[in-house]
Amino acid sequence: MSEVGELTFSRIHEASPELLFDCMTSPEHLTHFWGPAGTTTPLDGIVVDLRPGGAFETTMVGADGGTYTMRAVYAEIDRPRRLVWVEPAVEGGMRTEITFTDLGDGRTEVRTHQTNVPAVFLSAQARAGFNTSLDRFDAYLAELGRNR
């Protein structure tokens, strides 16, 4: 068995928990920011069956045309507070838990905690890639705010 670990990312966004939860669970939103910088996630490559036991799948396309598909199963859904999925194909069943904490001033803290994370995803490069995905999420939220 290869080494596994845990990762936690936290970011404060200028949006309500409800909007953030909806962005994380709607293909029409996910297509705009899912994946690290340099990737796209076409709408037809996103499956969201938002119920415990339902599928959550994304297919990211890299700049070189290569694809990476993430297949998960929703474990818990508590809109707008908590979202949990497990990627059973990843050795050990990598678990991602996202919590949305309303800060009461129009901002929300989003905390992503992952367990059973394979060593390949623990590298500094992989963590940096995840952070660029959070940057893309911030940019998308800013765009949504301008269009309201």
Sign of CA dihedral 98, 53, 22, 90: positive
What integer pLDDT is reported at residue 39 of this predicted model?
96
DSSP 107: -
Q: What is the pTM of this model?
A: 0.93
Tell me the average pLDDT across 10-19: 96
As a whole number of angstroms, the distance between CA 143 and CA 125 comes to: 27
Are 97 and 82 in contact by the 8 Å Cβ rule? The answer is yes
Contacts of 113 (CB under 8 A, 6+ apart): 6, 7, 8, 96, 97, 98, 99
Query: Residue 125 maps to which CATH number?
Result: 3.30.530.20
One-letter amino acid of 94: M
Helix (H) or strand (E) holding 4: strand 4-13
As a whole number of angstroms, the distance between CA 13 and CA 138 comes to: 7
- Structural domain total, the chain: 1
Q: Phi and psi for 134 in degrees, rounded to 5?
A: -65, -35
- Is residue 17 included in any domain, yes or no? yes
Are 82 and 95 in contact by the 8 Å Cβ rule? The answer is no
* Highest mean pLDDT out of 1-10, 60-69, 115-124: 60-69
Q: 36 in helix, strand or coil? A: coil
- Is residue 49 included in any domain, yes or no? yes
Structural domain span for residue 88:
6-146
- Is residue 1 included in any domain, yes or no? no
Mean residue pLDDT of the chain comes to: 94
pLDDT tens by residue, 42-79 = 999 999 999 999 999 999 999 999 999 999 999 999 99
Q: Which two tokens stand for residue 10?
A: 């936290």
As a whole number of angstroms, the distance between CA 32 and CA 146 comes to: 15
